[in-house]
Amino acid sequence: MVQQIFSKVAAKYDLMNDVMSIGLHRTWKSYLVDLIEINSKSNVLDLASGSGDIIRLLKKKASANFFSLDANKDMQEQAKKKIDDKNVKFINAFAEKLPFDNNHFDVITVSFGMRNFSNISKSLSEVFKVLKDSGTFYCLEFSQINNKILNSFYQLYSKVIPTYGGILANDFNSYKYLIKSIENFPNQVELSKMMQETGFKRVEVFDIIDGLASIHIARK
């Protein structure tokens, strides 16, 4: 079902993100990338890479060895239109079964994609396995809002997002699913605990707009 949804929205994926975050996802992704340290020798894996926003931003920091991984081929085609670089390798695979050697990557990222994984615990185990002992995992995702007033506003807004999707993209059901996926995703504390149970020794969390989104940084 998730594959069908993303194949359907692939051509309008960037518009979808703009609608869901009122365009703020662009600023949040820039903030995430500002926290990431890479150099020309770094091996960098971007999970659920979508249309390639994170890699495009990271490429401005360094000409590292980038791997853009996504389970959906239609989404990858959108990314290839935006990214033309011999240092970027496109991999069609699932996060629950990563096709890489152990201890291979210096940095692994995922941006607004983890909530669509079929098995988050299994995906975290795979990330831990292919990440170097000195590596870092960065996760940007919608999260639990701490402020009651802001949360009330978001609850109202989330109810009309599928309607916007129906009008702008002629796709009510896909937007409805994506809102549901946010509601079902672990909050900051729960996700941090899952990362620690996977084996990550240090986990930091940075809330954005009082928890509307959050960045988890996990180190082995």
Q: What is the CATH number of domain 2-8+22-86+102-157+183-219?
A: 3.40.50.150
Q: Give dist(CA 27, CA 25) in Å, integer.
A: 5
Write the DSSP assignment of 4-46 as a string of letters. HHHHHHGGGHHHHHHHHHTTTHHHHHHHHHHH----TT-EEEE
Least confident of 50-59, 79-88, 138-147: 79-88
Taking residues 189-213, report their average pLDDT.
97
State yes or no: pLDDT of 205 exceeds 90.
yes
Burial of residue 104 (CB within 10 Å: 0-12, 13-18, 19+) is: middle
Taking residues 77-97, report their average pLDDT.
91
State yes or no: pLDDT of 137 exceeds 90.
yes
The pLDDT, as a whole number, for residue 72 is 93
The residues spanned by each domain of the chain are 2-8+22-86+102-157+183-219
* Top-confidence residue, 11 or 31: 31
Amino acid at 150: L
The pLDDT, as a whole number, for residue 123 is 98
The pLDDT, as a whole number, for residue 151 is 93
Question: pTM of this prediction?
Answer: 0.92
The pLDDT, as a whole number, for residue 169 is 64
Residue carrying structure tokens 């994926």:
13
